[in-house]
Amino acid sequence: MKKLLSYLTMTALALFLMAPFVWMIFVSLQPSKAPIPSLGQLVPEKPAWSNYRLVLVEQPDLPVLRFFFNSAFVTCSVVIGQLLISSLAAYGFARMKFAGRDLIFYVFLGSLMFSGPVTQLPVYLLVKSLGWLDTYAALIVPGVSSAFSVFLLRQAFQSIPGELDEAARLDGAGDFRIYWKVVMPLSGAALATCSAFSFFAVWTDFFWPLLSTNSTTMRTLEVGLSVFKSSYGTTNWPLEMAATVLVMIPLLVAFLFSQRYFTKGIMIGSIK
């Protein structure tokens, strides 16, 4: 009985949370330019699959495949780069002893308190002075350091017994070898969690790619397809929703593969 109740509640909650996605898909299949349907008319009589063709193919100014490539390339580069750099920093914080270590770590944590827009202007100026505007470097490099990942990985590394390091050290391993051969392989879950978080953050980022790139060929999917949300006149909702579905599909796939790490990630900081 108790089980039944909890299943019922869960199902209701799941349906409630899924509703916007279902709505999005149905609206994306309404005829182009149709008004937002009332709930009774949500399911289109004849699904307008051509909306997807309109978004994908029939916009001569929108190289959608290129957007896909940019998003995928940038996201993968940031995820890999962030894992490497953050894990190295986290190793330092977790394993090495040096003066001011905790202070520096708290400064790191403090940087989490600033919301993105506060740092965007200085980062923009920096990227500009490096001559990186409108390049992949602008899209990738600012993203490879993440205080959140450093924090998460430090917690994970601290939970690995120090005796393992000592054993490796007796066998002649240096710090880098311990990091690469001992600590990293034992932190799979934390690393996967970090990748999942940064994957989602980078894939869905809008403002930074909008600022730091100018040419159409450098646009990511999120920015490139935002043209359907028109700032002049009225938004063509079916096309806008078709574009949104296209942006979301890779995310959904990624989420299905990584969802267990999301839930794990929430616990990582708490277990020692």
Partner 1 sequence: MRSVVVFAVGLAVLLCGCKGATGTGPVVLHLSNWGGASDDPEFSRKITALYRQFERENPGIKVEIESVPDEYVQKMILSFVADAAPDVMSLDASSAGVFVNNGVLMDLAPFAKGDHGFRVSDFWPNVMAIDSRDQAIYAIPGDFTPLVLYYNKKLFDNAHVPYPGGHWTFDDFLQTAKKLTLKDKDGKVTQYGFNFPNWMPGWIVWLWNSGGDVLNPDGKSAGGALDSDKNVQAVTFLRDLVNVHKVAPNLSQTQSRGVDPFGNGETAMEISGHWEMSGFKTAPRLKMSDVGVTEVPTMLPQSKTVMYEVGFAIPKNARHPAEAWKLIKYLTGHGFQQTYQTTGIAVCARRDVATERAKAPREQLFLNIVPTARGPWGAQVVGYDFVEQEGKKMMERVLAGADPKQALTQTAQRIDSYFKVR
Count of residues that interact with partner 1, criterion CB under 8 A: 50
Residue from 21, 106, 207, 257 binding partner 1 (CB under 8 A):
207
How near is the Cβ of 87 to partner 1 at its closest, in Å? Answer: 11
Angstrom CA distances, 162 to 125, 158, 177, stand at: 42, 8, 14
How near is the Cβ of 230 to partner 1 at its closest, in Å? Answer: 5
d(CA 10, CA 101): 44
Site for partner 1 in 151-190 (CB under 8 A): 176, 180
How near is the Cβ of 61 to partner 1 at its closest, in Å? Answer: 5
Site for partner 1 in 5-24 (CB under 8 A): none
Site for partner 1 in 100-129 (CB under 8 A): 121, 124-125, 128
Number of Cβ within 10 Å of residue 56's Cβ equals 16
Widest CA span in the chain: 72
How near is the Cβ of 240 to partner 1 at its closest, in Å? Answer: 9
Residue from 108, 203, 208, 237 binding partner 1 (CB under 8 A):
237
Q: What mask, x for binding partner 1 by CB under 8 A, covers residues 208 to 227? A: --xx--xxx------x--xx
Which residue lies nearer to partner 1 by CB, 64 or 248?
Answer: 64
Q: Which stretch binds partner 1 (CB under 8 A): 74-82, 104-112, 150-158, 188-196?
A: 74-82
Phi, psi (rounded to 5 degrees) for 3: -65, -45
Residue from 134, 159, 201, 269 binding partner 1 (CB under 8 A):
134
148 binds partner 1, rule: CB under 8 A: no
How near is the Cβ of 172 to partner 1 at its closest, in Å? Answer: 16
d(CA 231, CA 84): 40
Residue from 2, 20, 58, 170 binding partner 1 (CB under 8 A):
58
Nearest to 253 by CA among 216, 203, 217: 203
> Contact, 116 vs 146, CB < 8 A?
no
Which residue lies nearer to partner 1 by CB, 106 or 114?
Answer: 114
How near is the Cβ of 176 to partner 1 at its closest, in Å? Answer: 8
Q: What is the contact surface with partner 1 in residues (CB under 8 A)? A: 31, 33-36, 58-62, 77, 80-81, 84, 121, 124-125, 128, 131-137, 140-141, 176, 180, 206-207, 210-211, 214-216, 223, 226-237, 239
